[in-house]
């Protein structure tokens, strides 16, 4: 399938919200079920300085989104945190990989970000493998990091260091 990567626009917000509302993406992220349009409008309608939202799209179909949050604290300006979601119908088609590559290029090549961090649930093996493929390393594990579907879940802390 052919798709392109670009910065998200206000017209994409509903399609992005729909991706994050999919059950597997609720389970794999820190998002709550049943996200409101207002929440996503506030989140992406006017991006704060240092936050970037890239999407993979084919025509008007949004297939995935990656958010990049560059830290503003003086001693952490070289660090960004990313969050990724791919539509259930677009998985295993290179969408996640393309979004990660684009985010790393933006961070390391243009934003002077040396360290890109993320958290992923320890039971999300496809995501862990995808991030490892792009050079992320697992730096540690946080027990009971987030409440998910009635119990506490652990996450791996992963990072990609430019170099």
Taking only the tens place, the pLDDT of each residue in 91-113 is: 999 999 999 999 999 999 999 99
Question: What gap in Å lies between CA 48 and CA 50, rounded to an integer?
Answer: 6
Domain containing residue 25: 4-161
Worst-scoring range by mean pLDDT, 1-5, 93-97, 112-116?
1-5
Indicate the number of domains in the chain: 1
CATH number at residue 98: 3.40.630.30
pLDDT > 80? residue 46? no
Question: What gap in Å lies between CA 151 and CA 42, rounded to an integer?
Answer: 29
Question: What gap in Å lies between CA 132 and CA 146, rounded to an integer?
Answer: 22
């Amino acid at each position: 399938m052919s798709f392109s990567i670009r910065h998200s626009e206000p017209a994409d917000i509903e399609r992005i919200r729909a991706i994050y509302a999919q059950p597997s993406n609720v389970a794999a992220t820190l998002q709550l079920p049943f996200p409101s349009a207002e929440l996503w409008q506030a989140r992406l309608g006017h991006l704060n300085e240092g936050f970037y939202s890239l999407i993979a799209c084919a025509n008007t179909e949004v297939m995935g989104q990656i958010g990049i949050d560059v830290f503003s604290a003086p001693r952490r300006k070289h660090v960004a945190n990313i969050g990724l979601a791919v539509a259930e119908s677009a998985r295993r088609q290179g969408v996640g990989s393309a979004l990660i590559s684009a985010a790393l290029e933006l961070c390391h090549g243009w934003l002077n970000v040396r360290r890109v961090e993320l958290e992923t649930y320890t039971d999300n093996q496809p995501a862990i493998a995808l991030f490892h493929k792009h050079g992320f390393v697992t730096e540690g594990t946080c027990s009971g990091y987030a409440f998910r579907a009635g119990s506490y879940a652990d996450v791996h802390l992963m990072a990609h260091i430019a170099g």
